[in-house]
Structure 1
Amino acid sequence: MPLLSSAARCIGSAVLLLGPATPAAGAPAVPAAPAAVAVPVLGHTGRWLTDDQGRVITLHGVNLVYKKPPYFPAAGGFGAQDARFLADNGFNAVRLGFAWNAVEPQPGTYDDAYIDQILQTQQLLAQYGIHSLVDSHQDAFNESVGASWSGFPAWAVYPDGLPVEPNPGFPEVYFTSPAQKQTWTNFWHDHPAPDGVGLQEHYAAMWAHVAQRFADQPYVLGYDLINEPWPGWDWPTCFPDGCPAFEGEVLAPFEAKAMNAIRTVDRRHLLFYEPSLTNDFGTPDWMPNPTRDPNAVLGFHDYCLGETDTCLTNGLARAGADGTAGVLTEFGATTDATRLTRLTGRYDEAMASWMFWSYAQNQTPGHVQQPPTGPNLMDPAIVRPYPRAVAGTPRQWAYDPEAGTFTLRYSTRSAGSGRPVAAGARTEVYLPAAAYPGGYRVQVQGARVVSAPGARILELVAAPGQAAVQVNVTRP
């Protein structure tokens, strides 16, 4: 590691020139948590995700959902090298998908060996300090009604004899296929499964069975109740003004069943409730916190088109109305680096946590699906500086990839309580090597730098009596 070429460290301000850091060969960039040390469970304080120190936590993550049999990431080649890559590039979260179809192949019968595969990937990610959002994933229910894969089981499909055609493929099949719409409508009406038990009761019980396996694991972020639920025949009522009746009277009670079931086995971790899929395209979000659980947050997606992106503002506004955090759990699905840079810059402006959907997870030449790591990750649009932990309350951060400048301002008062942060609490800023190949220069007011020269994680401790901290990072 290069020596500090020049430094002026003092209580009120600091100017540092730091060289690049080179980790030891084969060593993870983020060390595994020792087995004997309890890893804090993340919660939220109003709009902010927070840790046990009261620090505001920001997530930069990726989705990891393997949509082909046998429906788990290791089968697609995801392993330690990929987990290390994510940690090396500053990612601290993964939305880790599973298929209800694989968990419960027959009504009331669970495949624990499959759940173990998902658990093993979660444990691998935990070794690198990466939080997993365990996600029940689907896209258009099941292949028998036009989906590209079977996230939900065939035994839960009830199209009542209606045809799949016209089926132009995913996602258009949502809008066109009578069988698709009827299957979702029967699901919302809690159609009995072959054993006579309602489909929604099966779904809730499935979630309890899954959650109990993750309840005591370190680095579990929480549980994403359902990916992109579709209103069925009611979808036209959601355009252009959203669907308050569906989300409030149908979707929220359904997600409440899953939330209540999970809480019988895990009362600690965050519950991520989702609005209708129509919100992905920019309609207003009416989805309430289904059970008013104080440890629930809104997960929403951004696939808005055009320059006016209402997905982000709608999601954060809806979360704010319920006094909870909003996390952007899916966006991207494109190789347009210019668009991705614009989006991530906008998310910085909103001080939002996000999880990227890699285009390569859908399709790559010669392979239908690849993990969102290595060349499949859009660098540098996605790999960018950010404050992953703030000992206080963030006020603003921004990154200019052309100039290589990163700025951060934050109050030294804790989010929510407004009390001063604990003495010695550390703010952590991730600074990628790709953005600062020749090192970086740091100017700090109101804090001192306590990290090693050239560290990829810049660590700061506020000076006594300072109400605010200003950080500026530039290329030398």
Structure 2
Amino acid sequence: MTKKMGRVLAALGVCALMGASPLVTPAAQAGTVTETHPSITELGRLSQHGRWYADGEGRAFLTAGVNMVYKHAPYTPEAGGFNEDDADWLAAQGFDSVRLGLLWKAVEPEPGVYDEAYIESLRHTVRILADRGIVTLLDAHQDMYNERFQGEFAPDWAVIDDGVPSLLQVGFPTNQVLNVGLLRAYDNFLADREGPGGVGLQERYAAMWGHVAEAFRDEPGIMGFDILNEPWPGSAFPICYLSGGHCGPALDHLNALHQKVSAAVTTAYPEAIIHYEPYSMWNQGFNTRPAAPAATNTALSWHVYCTSNALFNSYIGCQIPDGQTFANAEAVAQDQHSATLLSEFGATDDRATLEGVTGLARQHMVGWQYWSYCGCNDPTTQNQLQQGIVADPQVPGPVTCDAVNQEKLSILAAPHLRAAAGTPTETTWDSASRTYRASWTADRVDGTGTFAAGSVSELVVPTVNFPEGYRLTVEGGHVVRNEESGRVLVASDGEGPVTVTVAPMA
């Protein structure tokens, strides 16, 4: 086998086939290939309707994606080595979204001064992804506020700690409860203390976001804007835990921040989907009750990280708190009339954890984004050595077999329903038998009626779980295109439900 062919197979996720019998491709099994269809990014802006995302045709969009956040100066994915080769590989595995990190410190190095070169670098990455049918959620990432506290996020000029020292310094995430300087800086940010020029920190932050939204308003493939990653309530954190999630005035401060940013973003980009996050004790099952900001399109962006997995890299004891977190998300999304997105989970090689969380996501029909695409020398994560799917992307050239954690890929790159011409009612995956099942009705998620007969839905079937090919069974519809990339288009036969089953070749 040539080196070039090895790279092609690596991109398709079929490393195990090297030296084996020829691959039976999905295209070889397809019936009559009669129709193609634009990708998600070619169909126009995403929108939000109740707890669903919808693509430009109004189809329900369920994503399977990854996070790519580079936490070292200059804070760009490009600086971390992420480029066209990585985007090609993601598309080949069926991933269709990236939560892309931006750092306030990099956007606004001086008060009111924006680094346009930094923004252009992010825009370049967004375009690379969009060209491959991958949407981008821009995420203002923060962990422990600033490098002064062993974290990243805010510019140095936005750190107001009132002279309280940065002690104790014991790393992520424990600094959030022990470092008194960090707690004071969080408190002042949430309280909107005046910074340089007598301008409140939140006003500066909202203006920064408005500038970013203006820069990305006309870019294809924007999934939305994630206001603030894993906000922390500062010195109020004990109240949040002791009260089971009721953070008192600290919640009012966070809701006010979300509203200011939402107003700035939607002034520049009225159709933007505003993603708001709860205080991060949410991740362990505490409902910290975030409120959606006033905007046309909103989404609850939330995470799940079980404590025992973080401490012991084990899923034992996690089923109950993780199940509670999913239930909390559904309740908040319904109450706030927002879409729901599991925008972070994982940071582990533990199979039980990955299968447990993705299984809950399918059960609840929630899109997800795995943390993280790579280890990338991450200074603020629970498991830097095990969090990545691929090794260091700074290695030039296509993603090769030896750079991929194949076991993790087989869990994350299972088949999934990407876009349903209607409302999803079931998504399941049996990893033992490698059998996937998805069903949907013709009812539009925006409540405006039903999709007509012949409407096209899209699934993706990555090859990593089907080295000898797969077979499709469709009830209530028929396959109109089945591509070697694993992209499967199914047209409905009428206005009844459609069910698709994917299984290995007999």
Which is worse superposed, 310-319 or 445-454?
445-454
Q: Which amino acid aligns with 2:25?
A: P
Give the secondary-structure state (helix, strand or coil) at the position aligned to 2:419: strand
1:375 equivalent in structure 2? 404
Question: Matches of 1:254 and 1:32 in 2, distance apart?
Answer: 40
Q: Which residue of 2 aligns with 1:9?
A: none
Please name the residue that 2:504 is paired with. Answer: 475
Q: Does structure 2 retain, via aligned residues, the 8 Å contact 1:360–1:376?
A: no
2:248 aligned counterpart, secondary structure: helix
Unaligned runs of 5+ in 1: 1-17, 24-30
Q: Is 2:25 aligned against 1:20?
A: yes
Match of 1:40 in 2: 44
* SS, match of residue 173 in structure 2: coil
Q: Which residue of 2 aligns with 1:90?
A: 94
Contact 2:239 2:247 (C-alpha < 8 Å) held by counterparts: no
Task: Compare 302-311 and 430-439 and name the one that shifted more.
Answer: 302-311
* Equivalent-residue separation in structure 1 for 2:483 and 2:265 (angstroms): 44
- The residue type paired with residue 390 of structure 1 is A
**Alpha-carbon displacement from aligned partner over 1:426-461 (angstroms, at most 9, x marks no partner):** 111111101111111122111111113766112111
In 2, Cα distance between equivalents of 1:321 and 1:346:
20
Larger mean Cα displacement after TM superposition, 62-71 or 454-463:
454-463
1:316 partner SS = helix
- The answer to whether the 8 Å contact 2:236/2:247 transfers is no
The residue that corresponds to 2:110 in the other structure is 106
Shift of residue 418, structure 1, vs aligned partner: 6.3
Q: Which residue of 2 aligns with 1:450?
A: 480
Cα 1:261–1:376 shift into 2, 3 Å: farther
Task: Specify the alignment match of 1:190 in structure 2.
Answer: 192
Q: Aligned in 2, Cα 1:455/1:233: closer, same or farther, shift over 3 Å?
A: closer
Query: C-alpha displacement at 1:38, in angstroms?
Result: 6.0
Aligned identity (percent) is 36
Distance across 1 between alignment mates of 2:126 and 2:189 = 30
1:138 aligns with 2:167: no
Residue 180 (structure 1) aligned with residue 182 (structure 2): yes
Instruction: Give the aligned residue type for 2:183.
Output: K
1:312–1:439: structure 2 CA closer, same or farther, 3 Å change rule? same
SS in 1 for 2:375: helix
- 2:278 maps to 275
TM-score of the two chains, using structure 1 as the length reference: 0.88
2 CA distance for matches of 1:197 and 1:375? 47
Asked whether the 8 Å contact 1:247–1:287 carries over to 2, the reply is no
CA deviation string 1:146-166 (max 9, x = no partner): 223x32111111111212212
- Structure 1 pair 371/242, CA: closer, same or farther in 2 (3 Å)? farther
After superposition, the Cα gap between the structure-2 partners of 1:229 and 1:164, relative to the gap in structure 1 and judged at 3 Å, is same
Corresponding residue for 2:367?
Answer: 353
1:76 aligns with 2:80: yes
> How far apart, CA to CA, are the structure 2 residues paired with 1:413 and 1:216?
30
Q: 1:322 aligns with which of 320, 328, 336?
A: 336
Distance, in Å, in 2 between the alignment partners of 1:249 and 1:58 is 31
> Which deviates more, 155-164 or 59-68?
155-164
Query: In the alignment, residue 357 of structure 1 is paired with which amino acid?
Result: W
Aligned to 2:439: 409
Query: Which runs of 5 or more structure 2 residues have no equivalent in the other structure?
Result: 1-22, 29-35, 308-317, 379-383
Aligned-pair Cα RMSD in Å:
2.4
Match of 1:200 in 2: 202
Aligned pairs for 1:408-447 (under 5 A) are 408-417=438-447, 419-447=449-477
Q: Indicate the residue corresponding to 1:298 in structure 2.
A: 300
Q: Alpha carbons of 1:453 and 1:356: their partners in 2 closer, same or farther (altered >3 Å)?
A: closer
* Equivalent in the alignment of 1:336: 350
Over 3 Å counting, the alpha-carbon distance change for 1:186 and 1:247 in structure 2 is closer
The answer to whether the Cα contact below 8 Å between 2:150 and 2:169 also exists between their aligned partners in 1 is no
The structure richer in helix per residue is 2
Which residue does the alignment assign to 2:311? none
SS in 1 for 2:128: helix
| SS of corresponding position for 2:263 | helix
Give how far 1:287 is off.
0.5
**1:39–1:218 contact (8 Å) kept in structure 2:** no
CA distance in 2, matches of 1:108, 1:412: 49
How many angstroms does 1:195 deviate by? 1.8
Does 275-284 or 170-179 show the bigger shift?
275-284
Q: Secondary structure at the match of 2:409?
A: coil
Taking the aligned partners of 2:251 and 2:163, their CA distance within structure 1 comes to: 29
Q: Does 1:54 align with 2:58?
A: yes
**Number of aligned residues:** 444
For 2:38 and 2:54, locate their aligned partners in 1 and report how far apart those are by CA, in whole Å.
19
CA offsets 1:181-240 (integer angstroms, 9 cap, x no match): 000111112111122111111001101111111000000111111111111111111114
Task: Please state whether the residue corresponding to 2:349 is helix, strand or coil.
Answer: coil
Give me the whole-angstrom Cα distance separating, in 2, the residues matched to 1:390 and 1:247.
39
The CA distance in 1 between the partners of 2:236 and 2:483, in whole Å, is 58
Change beyond 3 A, Cα 1:455–1:98: closer
- Give the TM-score of the pair, scaled to structure 2: 0.83
Which position in structure 1 is the counterpart of 2:167? Answer: 165
CA apart distance, 1:473: 1.6
Report how far residue 68 of structure 1 moved.
0.6
Give SS of 2:436's match: strand
Give yes or no for contact 1:53–1:425 (8 Å, CA) kept in 2.
no
| Aligned counterparts of 1:392 and 1:32: Cα–Cα separation in 2 | 16
Closer/same/farther in 2, CA of residues 63 and 392 from structure 1, 3 Å limit? same
CA distance in 1, matches of 2:275, 2:262: 9
Counterpart Cα distance in 2 of 1:187 and 1:197: 12
From 231, 253, 256, the counterpart of 1:253: 256
Bigger mean CA offset, 408-417 vs 438-447:
408-417
User: Runs of at least 4 residues of structure 1 off by over 3 A?
Assistant: 31-34, 369-374, 452-455
After superposition, what is the alpha-carbon deviation per residue over 1:374-412, rounded to whole angstroms, capped at 9, x for unaligned? 526821111111100001111101011120111112112
1:234 alignment partner AA: A
Structure 1 contact 21–454 (Cα < 8 Å) conserved:
yes
